[in-house]
Amino acid sequence: MIRSDIIRGHLDSIILRLVDEQDRYGYEISKEISIRTNDRFQIKEATLYAVFQRLVKKDLIESYYGDFSQGGKRKYYRITSLGRAYLKELVSEWKETKEIVDLFMEG
């Protein structure tokens, strides 16, 4: 299991990327993170919703309610155009950061 503090600084990017691929609801996002990381990283529900709140407040994502399913309406999140532009910046920043860290860690 990876140390969660290392990933914590990248949660906004990870969530933005996932909702950029398609509109998603909370449980779906946490499940997708577990699947893609082979259970090496799991996001706690409270953490996930704190990220949602932060991203909504910054107008990077927005929420809407889907159709009724399993007894209730699911709250979905979708990326905004501002969110898409911000994600592009984050990706390029990440590539540069990764390059620099790799210089020292892969030696």
Q: What type of residue sits at position 37? A: T
Contact predicate 84/17, CB 8 Å: no
- The β-bridge relationship of strands 61-69 and 24-25 is unpaired
* Cα–Cα distance, 92 to 105 (Å, whole number): 20
Residue spans of beta strands (DSSP E) within the chain: 24-25, 61-69, 72-79
Average the pLDDT over 13-42 and give the result: 95
Closest by CA position to 70, among listed 7, 27, 37: 27
pLDDT 10s digits, 46-100: 999 999 999 999 999 999 998 766 667 889 999 999 999 999 999 999 999 999 9
Q: For the whole model, what pTM was predicted?
A: 0.87
- The domains located in the chain, with CATH, are 4-105 (1.10.10.10)
pLDDT value at residue 95: 95
**Count of Cβ atoms closer than 10 Å to residue 55 Cβ:** 23
pLDDT value at residue 26: 94
